[in-house]
Structure 1
């Protein structure tokens, strides 16, 4: 079942997001298996929000396992993603 993954990054900035995203999307394993879609932007309270769609929670975890070294090297604060089932995912 597809999942919606929401990540809130308190104090996260567009600069940190763009730097990290550039490294992740240039990794040899990009796009990760099970990846469907991604969106990100300011959260309205001084941080950053990322919303991803994956085919399963397991696919998301496999992505995190590969991307974690990049997140850590870029100084991403520790986060706890919220993973919820997606009833429907529509892609253009």
Structure 2
């Protein structure tokens, strides 16, 4: 079952996002996030919201997200966001064009 995953980072901006993405891509020998292998990731979008920054993703399953979290969790912890917990919602429908 696909899931919708939303991370909110109060007080953060695009610099936090760019730093995380840079660490992930550089750590895997890439320069673009879309080149990194993210098995199970259906979509990823990020942008500013009132008072912070939001990342929303659609994953094929909770297990795919758990595997992916092993890459991002240590980076977020290092940047002071160890307690960042996503909101996870079952997807009723997913359309990819």
Shorter-normalised TM range: 0.7 to 0.9
Find the counterpart in structure 1 of residue 62 from structure 2: 57
Corresponding residue pairs, total = 91
- Correspondence list, 1:1-92, <5 A: 1-28=1-28, 30-44=36-50, 46-76=51-81, 78-92=83-97
CA shift for structure 1 position 74:
3.1
The TM-score with structure 1 as length reference comes to 0.85
CA shift for structure 1 position 22:
2.1
Distance in 2, matches of 1:4 and 1:17, equals 19
Distance in 2, matches of 1:74 and 1:18, equals 12
- Structure 1 segments of 4+ aligned residues over 6 angstroms from their partners: none
The TM-score with structure 2 as length reference comes to 0.81
Distance in 2, matches of 1:53 and 1:25, equals 20
